Structure 1
Amino acid sequence: MKKLFQKKKETVDLNRRSFMVGSASAGLIMAFAPTLVSFDLSAAEAVSQEAFSPTIWWHMTPNGDVIINIAKAEMGQHIGTALARIVADELECDWDKVSIEYVDTDKKWGFMVTGGSWSVFQSFKPLSQAGAAGRIALIEAGAKLLGVKPGSARAEKGRVIAGSNSVTYAEIVQKGKFNRTFSADEIAALAIKPANKRHLTGLNQDFKALDIPTKTNGTAVYGIDAEVEGMVYARPVIPPTRYGSEVRKVDDSKSKKVNGYLGYEILKDPSDTLQGWVVVYAKNYPAAIKAVDLIKVDYKKGETASVSEADIQAEGKRLVSSDSTGTLFVDEGDVAKARIEAKESIEGLYTTDTANHFQLEPLNAVAEFKGDTWYVHTGNQWPSLTLPVLAKALEVPQEKVVIKPYYLGGGFGRRLYGDWIIPAVLTAKAIGRPVKLVFTRADDSLFDQSRSASTSLLKASFDKEGNFSGLEQAFAAGWPTKTMAPDFMPPGVDGKGKVDPFSASGADHWYSMVNHRARAINNELAQKTFTPGWLRSVGQGWIVWGLESFIDEIAHKLGKDPVQFRLDMLDGKGKQAGKAPESVGGAKRLRNTLEVLAKKVVNIKLGKDEGIGFAVSAGQERTMPAWIATAAHVHVNRQTGKITLKKLYAVVDGGLIIHPNGALAQIEGSLLWGASLALFESNAYHNGQVRSTNFNTYLPLRMNDMPEMDIEFVDSDEFPVGLGEPGVIGVAPAVSNAVFNAVGVRLRALPMKPSHITSVLRT
C-alpha cells in the first residue's frame, strides 16, 4: 500500500522531511518541518508562527500534560489509545498525563484514511521517531538544567534523571528553551526501542485506554449527535436504481399535511454521484420520516431496475468459466503446461451472497455554510477521498470544505467514501440553511455499498505421478476501488488492464507452488447495479474462503493430512521469505502459527458428527501481513442441517502488539464477524435493490449462536501490523473444512445454510 500513497501529493514523505521541536505559549510542540533544506526559520520561530506542514504530532503543556493529535477515525477500535501509546513509549512520558484529540480535515494533517487495518502499521515508524526525537530534546534541555552532559542523563516516566538528581518534564518545559531541528538523516538514525525497553507497548503491558471512558459515561459525541444552530432535519428518498434514475415529477400533497413539513428538493449533483435524488426537509426528524413515507415520486428507472441476485451470480459464473476474461494478478510457472500434462484435475466453484454493513449508527451528516467555508459534521473514515467529491458537488475549491470529526457508531468500511454527505450539503446549499440529514435503517440499507456477490473457480492439476502440480484461481465480483478510488488500481501482471488490489488480495498467498495463476475479473453487472463496497476484510473474505477450502480438497485428493499439506507448502522459499520490515520471516511465521494451533487442538475429543477444520491467512495484504491460523470446532445435525459453531481458535502473529486489550478486542470482533458471514449474513438484489433492509430479515450472528473463542498472540518484536480485519478471513473456510470432516459434505456457498447440508445427505 505504501507505493499507492506515494502517488498522492498530500502524502508525508518522511525521507524528505525533518522534525522540529520548539517552544510556544502552549509549551513544547513537536512538528514536521516543511523541507529538509533551505529552511529559513528556526524551529522556535516556525513553531511560534505555525509555519509547519503537514502534521503536528503532539505538544506538551507547561504542566507536563501530553496532548497527542489523532488524524484517524475512531469507530470502536480504540485507535487513539494505540497511536498515543506509540508516541508515549518512545517519549518516556507518564501515561496518566497523556490525552488525545481527534483532528479535522485541515490540509496540515496530510493524507487522512482509516481503513485497511493500516493505522498502526503506517503510523508506527513516524510516531515512534516523533516520540524519540522529543525524548532527545527533553533530555538535552533537562541535562542543561541539571548541569550535566546529555550523555549522562536518561528519561524515564516523565522525568530526566542524572545520578540521584532529576527534573520533571513539566519543569523542563517551564524553564527550558527548545529550538531543535532533526534532519532526515538524524530521523532515519533514530533507533526504535527494543522489546525489553518498552513500558507502554507489548503483550505484557496493560494500561488504561484513553477513549473508553467517554463511551461508557455517555459523553462521547457521535455524528448522529451533532447539532448546529438553525438547522432543519432531512431524510432522503432513495431512488429505485443506484444509477440512471431520473425524477419525472413529485407529488407532496400528502406530505404537506405532516406537522413540521417544510418542503423537498430535487438534487442536481455536479459530481454525478447521486442520480435521481429527492430530499425532504422538516422542522424535526419525525416529521421528515413521515413526509418521505407519504411523498410520491415518479421516476424514470435506470437500466438495472430488473437485476436480481441470480443474474449477478450467473454473470459471475460465466466470467470465471472463460479463460479470456479479467486480468492476471498472479502468474508464476507455467500453469497451462501443467494443465496439459496433468493426469488428473479437480475443480471447485465457490460463491458468496451479497452482504451488507449494517453498522449500528445509520448514515448521517450535518452541513452548514459559515463565512466562505462549508463545514460538515459527521464520522468519515477516508476524508482525503471524500473531500474532493464534496468540493465538486458544491462547485467550490477543496480547501473550502472541512469535515469535523465525530466518533463513528460502526464503520466496517461503509464510512470510507462519504457519499452520504453529498445530499446533506446539496440540500443545505439549495435551501440556504444548515441541514441535518439522517438515513433510516431502511434508507441506509438501500444506499449501502454492498459487499458484492462473488464467484470463484479453482482448478488443481496433478501430474503423472499424482503430485499436485498447479493451481488456477479465477474470481469475479464488483470492485469497490474501481468506482470509488480508481487511482489505487495497479496494472495486472499481464498488462491487460488494471485490477482492484482489495478485490484480489489473498490470491497472492504465501504457499510455495511451482505453477500458480490467479485471475481477477470485474463483474460489470454488479458494478453498474450498485456501488460495491469495502466491507471488513474486503476481498480476502471471499477469495480466501474459496482458496482455503480448496486447499483441503487438494489435500484429501492426495490422501494427505490438510494441516501437514499446508505446512509443507509454507517453506518460506523465494518470494515467500518475506522482506523487511513488514513481513520478516515470511511464510515461516505463518507456518509457526499453524504448528502452534495444531498442537493446541490435537487432543480435543470429538463427539458424533463433530469436526475440526483449519485455515491460514495473511491479511490484509502481502505488504502488511498479519499471520493467523484459524480452527473451527463444529457439530452438524444430520436431520436439520444446522451447523453449531462450538469454538473458534486463532493463533495470531501481528508483530509487536501495541495495545493488547485493543488487539484482543479486534480479533474477537473480527472472528465473530467472520462467523456471521460464514453462517448467517445474506442479502439478495431484487429489482435492482437489496431485498432485506432491516434486522428482521437480514440475520447476522445472534447472542445464542456465539461460539467460545481461544485466541493466542505470538510474542514478537517484529514490526506491528493491523489486526482490525484479518481475523475475519479464516473463519469461513475453517468452518467449511470442519463440516466436511464431521459429515463428509463439501460446502461451497456462503453463507453455509442447513439446506446445503440436508440436500446432500438425503441424496
Structure 2
Amino acid sequence: MQPDSPTLSRRSLLRGAAAVLGGLVIGIELPARRARADEPQASGAAVNAFVHVPAQGPVSLIMPAVEMGQGVYTSQAMCMAEELEIGLDQVQAIAAPPDREHYGHPIFYVQATGGSTTTMAWTEPLRKAGATARAMLVAAAAEAWNVPASELTTEQGVITHRPSGRTVRYGEVADRAAALPPPANVSLKSPDQFRLIGTRAKRIDTPDKVTGKTVYGIDVMRPGMKFAALMASPVLGGKVEHVDQGPALKVAGVRQVVVLDDMVAVVGDNTWAAEQGLRALDIAWAAGPNATLNQAQLWADTEKASEGPGVTVRKEGDAAGKLKSGTVVEATYELPFLAHTSMETQNCTVHVHDGGCEIWVGTQVPGFAQAGAAQVLGIPPEKVTVHNHLIGGGFGGRLEAAPIVTATRIAQKVDGPVKVIWSREQDIRQDMFRPLYHNRLKARVENGRITAWQHRVTGPSILARWLPPAFKDGIDSDAIDGAAEPPYALGDMLVEYIRHENVVPFSFWRGVGPNSTVFSVESFLDRIARQSNTDPLTLRRGMLEKNPRGLAVLNAAVAKAGWDKPVAGSPFGSRTGRGLSLMHAFGSLLACVAEVTVTDHGDVRVTKVVVAADVGRVINPDTVIAQIQGGVVFGIAAVLHNRITFAGGEVEQSNFNDYRLLRINEMPTIEVELLSSQEASGGIGEPGTVIVQPAVANAVYAATGVQLTRMPLDASLLAKSV
C-alpha cells in the first residue's frame, strides 16, 4: 500500500484476504482426519469434511471454530442444519482436528478462532457444506428409487418421494451418498425460507455444561496420569540458577522435579501434592537483563516513540497543514498491559510416547499447537495428535501455542501422561499481555465542526509475529482498526502508525487495537464537544450525515437510554453522568450510553448501560445479546480497575485481589437493542468490550469534569477535596 492510500483497517484486510484465500478453504471432499478423545467423536459416513451421517442417531457436524463460551457451536450448527434440513436436536457438535486444508480460516488461512470473525468467515462455507450434503443424500435416494431427484423433498432428516409415498432417513442412504461425487454448485436458501437462521435458538452445548458432562481441557483424565505445577522466573526473561529439589521430594505424593532453563515444574500424584512440592522448593533465579524494567520507563519509551516518524495509513487532504493554525484541540490517551484472566487457567495434558505425542487441551489454534509440540520434540507434525476441547474462556489468550509448548517441554521429561496446570498467579504473571498503546490526536474545530484530524497510534505489532503476511508496508491493520476508518466525516485526515516494540510478551486481547483507537477517538470527541460548548450527541450526529447505518445505531441507543432526560439519582453518590460512544469495527456498528455515579472518594459505579447494535444478518439473536452483555462486563472491569504493571522486571499483580474483575454487586443494568439488517454478518465477540469503555469514561467526564487519559480510572483524581 502506498503511503497516501486512503484506507487500511481490519475490515479492508478481511475483505481482501477473503477474496484471495476464500477458495483455499471450502474443501469439502474429504473427511476429517482425527476426532478428539473424552468427548463425542464423529461417526457414520463422511459426506464431506463437515458432515458425518450415521445410520442411527444425530448427525455429526465438524465445527471449524472453537467453542469458548461465545456460542459458535450453536450458530455454526444453525448454518449447516438450515441447509441440511435437520433440527438442532439432531446435531452432535465435534471439534475439528488440526487440518488447515479443510478447516483453515477463510480469512486468516491458518486454523484459528478469533478476531470476532467466526460468523462472517464461516456462515457461507458451512451453509454450502450443509446444502452439498443434502444434495448428495437426495441424489443417493433418487438413485436407489430410480426417480428424479427433483421429485424428492427433505424435512428433519427424512427424504420423501411424495408421488409414491416412500420415505427414507438420511442415515439409510449415507454410505451411498458418501460414494457420490459432490455437486459443483448448490443452491442456498433465500432468507424468506429460513427456519433456523435468525431465530432465538437454545444453545446446543448448554445441557452438557449444566449436568457437568462437558469435558474442558482442565477436566481431562488419562490412565496413569500425573499432575504438574510450574513456576517460571518472576523476572521477565530470567533463568534458573539453582534448585534444591530435596524439600519438594519429601512432600507426600511428589514424584519428580523437572528443571528447565527458565522454569521449574513439580510432578505429583495430584495437583495438591504438586503445588505443595513447588512451594517447598528452594529456587535461586538469575534475573538477567530485565531486572531494572519498570512501568514508568515503559510509558516513557512509548511516549517518546509516538513523537517519531510513522507510517501513513490514511491521508486525505492536508490535515497537517490545517492543524498549524486555527482552533486546535490536542490530547493523548494511553492503555496499559492487560492479562486475560479466563475462568479456566492455562492447562495442557501431554503424553509423549512411542515416537509421537498426544495433547489434550482447549486452544484457539489447534494447528499451532500441533506444530509447536512437534518442534519441541523434533518430530513431524503428523505424529502429534491434538484432542481439542471446549474452552473456559479465551479472550485471545489461547490464540498462542506457548502454553502447549511449555507443557510439552515438561512432558518429555515425564514417563506417562502429565497434566500441567498454571496457578492463577502464574496464569497472570506469565501471561502474554494486551499491548501497551499510545494514541495522539489533534483536531481543528471551526464553527462547531471538525475540519482537520490527525491520529497517531503507537504500539507493537501482533500481526508481524502471529500472521506475518498480514503485516504489510509497516502497518499492523489490527492496531489501527477503528482509527483508519472511523464512522465519522472528520474533514482532512491523517492517520499514522508507529510500531514500537518492547520486551514484554504480548498477544491478542478481546478487542485489541479497537480497544485503544475507539476509546481514544470517542474520548477525544467528548473533549472537543466540551471545549466547543457543544452537546456530544449533536457533535456526532453532525458528522454522520453520510453514514445512515451509524446514525441509526446512535439514534437507537440514545432513544433507548433517554439521553434528553436527567440521569436518575443513585444511592452510591451525588455526582452522576451519562456518556456516549459509537464504533465501527469487526464489521459491526455499535453505540453505547453508560450512566455512572461517582462517590466523594472517587469510586465509580456504573449503574446502567444501553447498547444498540447493527451486526448485519443475525444468526442467533440470543447469542448476540449474550456476547454484548459479557463484553460490557469485561470492558467495565478494564476501564475501572485493570492494569498490568512492572517493577524490577516483575509483574506486580498476581490474583483477583490486585487484578480486579467486576463483582456481582457491581453489575449495572444492561439493555441491548438489535437493529434489523440484511447486510453481511459482522463480528460480536469483542465489540461489547470495546464500545463500553469510552462510554463509561465519557460518563465520568460528564459527572466530574475529569477526563480519563490513561486507563484505568484513578480514584484519587476524582475524589472531592475534603
SS at match of 1:69: strand
Q: Is residue 446 from structure 1 mapped to residue 429 from structure 2 by the alignment?
A: yes
Shift of 1:402: 2.1
Q: Is residue 517 from structure 1 mapped to residue 503 from structure 2 by the alignment?
A: no
Match of 2:713 in 1: 752
Shift of 1:146: 7.0
Match of 1:567 in 2: 541
Match of 1:556 in 2: 530
Distance 1:603 1:3 in 2: 39
2:686 to 725, 730, 733: 725
SS at match of 1:556: helix
Q: Is residue 287 from structure 1 mapped to residue 273 from structure 2 by the alignment?
A: yes
Distance 1:476 1:714 in 2: 34
SS at match of 2:510: coil
Q: TM-score, normalised by structure 1?
A: 0.84
Match of 1:232 in 2: 226
Distance 2:167 2:311 in 1: 60
Distance 1:165 1:651 in 2: 52
2:589 to 613, 622, 627: 627
SS at match of 1:627: strand
Shift of 1:738: 1.9
Distance 2:279 2:494 in 1: 51
Shift of 1:165: 6.2
Shift of 1:163: 5.2
* Correspondences of 1:56-455 after superposition (within 5 Å): 56-63=49-56, 65-106=58-99, 109-111=102-104, 112-142=111-141, 149-161=148-160, 167-168=166-167, 170=169, 173-174=172-173, 177-178=176-177, 179-182=179-182, 184=184, 186-187=185-186, 190=187, 192-202=188-198, 205-243=199-237, 245-267=238-260, 276-320=262-306, 322=307, 324-340=308-324, 342-455=325-438
Range with bigger deviation, 644-653 or 448-457: 448-457
Distance 2:610 2:684 in 1: 16
Distance 1:431 1:715 in 2: 56
SS at match of 1:430: coil
Task: Tell me the alpha carbon deviations over residues 476-496 of structure 1, each in whole angstroms, 9 at most, x when there is no partner.
Answer: 33443344x15154224xxxx
Q: 1:109 to 1:559 in 2, by over 3 A?
A: same
Q: 1:166 to 1:499 in 2, by over 3 A?
A: farther
SS at match of 1:747: coil
Distance 1:725 1:165 in 2: 52
Match of 1:30 in 2: 47
SS at match of 1:503: coil
SS at match of 1:721: coil
Q: 1:611 to 1:373 in 2, by over 3 A?
A: same
Shift of 1:264: 2.4
Q: 1:425 to 1:214 in 2, by over 3 A?
A: same
Q: Is residue 499 from structure 1 mapped to residue 475 from structure 2 by the alignment?
A: yes
Shift of 1:140: 4.0
SS at match of 1:539: helix
Q: 1:107 to 1:14 in 2, by over 3 A?
A: closer
Aligned partner of 1:403: which letter?
V
Shift of 1:257: 2.3
Q: Is residue 468 from structure 1 mapped to residue 461 from structure 2 by the alignment?
A: no
Shift of 1:181: 3.2
Task: Tell me the alpha carbon deviations over residues 695-744 of structure 1, each in whole angstroms, 9 at most, x when there is no partner.
Answer: 12221111111000110111223322221111111111111222233333
Q: 1:597 to 1:215 in 2, by over 3 A?
A: same
Task: Tell me the alpha carbon deviations over residues 107-163 of structure 1, each in whole angstroms, 9 at most, x when there is no partner.
Answer: 664422111111121111111111122233344445566776444544333344565
CA contact (8 A) 2:161 2:167 kept: no
Task: Tell me the alpha carbon deviations over residues 163-192 of structure 1, each in whole angstroms, 9 at most, x when there is no partner.
Answer: 5765555167349943543455x25xx3x3
Shift of 1:97: 1.6
Aligned partner of 2:459: which letter?
A
Shift of 1:282: 2.6
Shift of 1:348: 1.1
Q: 1:167 to 1:304 in 2, by over 3 A?
A: farther
* Correspondences of 1:613-692 after superposition (within 5 Å): 613-620=579-586, 625-637=587-599, 639-692=600-653
Q: 1:393 to 1:454 in 2, by over 3 A?
A: same
Q: 1:248 to 1:83 in 2, by over 3 A?
A: same
1:480 to 462, 467, 487: 462
Structure 2 segments unaligned to the other structure (5+ residues): 1-9, 32-41, 105-110, 570-574
Distance 2:580 2:295 in 1: 30
Shift of 1:593: 0.8
Task: Tell me the alpha carbon deviations over residues 45-96 of structure 1, each in whole angstroms, 9 at most, x when there is no partner.
Answer: xxxxxxxxxxx11122224732101132221122211101100011111332
Q: Is residue 697 from structure 1 mapped to residue 658 from structure 2 by the alignment?
A: yes
Distance 2:13 2:580 in 1: 33
Q: Is residue 13 from structure 1 mapped to residue 6 from structure 2 by the alignment?
A: no
CA contact (8 A) 1:611 1:635 kept: yes
Distance 1:172 1:411 in 2: 36
Q: 1:564 to 1:132 in 2, by over 3 A?
A: farther
Shift of 1:691: 1.0
Shift of 1:550: 0.5
CA contact (8 A) 1:450 1:531 kept: yes
Aligned partner of 1:605: which letter?
P
Q: 1:675 to 1:713 in 2, by over 3 A?
A: same
Shift of 1:98: 1.6
Distance 1:176 1:406 in 2: 28
CA contact (8 A) 2:336 2:644 kept: yes
Q: 1:100 to 1:300 in 2, by over 3 A?
A: same
Task: Tell me the alpha carbon deviations over residues 236-278 of structure 1, each in whole angstroms, 9 at most, x when there is no partner.
Answer: 22113332x233322223223222333323326xxxxxxx222
Aligned length: 688
Aligned partner of 1:30: which letter?
V
Distance 2:231 2:270 in 1: 16
Shift of 1:666: 0.9
Match of 1:709 in 2: 670
Structure 1 segments unaligned to the other structure (5+ residues): 32-55, 269-275, 493-497, 573-586
SS at match of 1:450: coil
Distance 1:614 1:626 in 2: 17
SS at match of 1:591: helix
CA contact (8 A) 2:53 2:171 kept: no
CA contact (8 A) 1:61 1:170 kept: no
CA contact (8 A) 2:141 2:173 kept: no
Shift of 1:681: 1.8
- Residue identity (%): 27
Distance 1:681 1:15 in 2: 38
Distance 1:400 1:713 in 2: 47
Distance 1:182 1:451 in 2: 44
CA contact (8 A) 1:327 1:521 kept: yes
Q: 1:421 to 1:145 in 2, by over 3 A?
A: closer
Distance 1:440 1:534 in 2: 21
Shift of 1:368: 0.7
2:519 to 545, 550, 561: 545
Task: Tell me the alpha carbon deviations over residues 600-624 of structure 1, each in whole angstroms, 9 at most, x when there is no partner.
Answer: 224543246333221111222xxxx
Distance 2:497 2:210 in 1: 44
Distance 2:497 2:701 in 1: 28
Q: 1:165 to 1:211 in 2, by over 3 A?
A: farther
CA contact (8 A) 2:642 2:660 kept: yes
Shift of 1:101: 1.3
Distance 2:617 2:628 in 1: 15
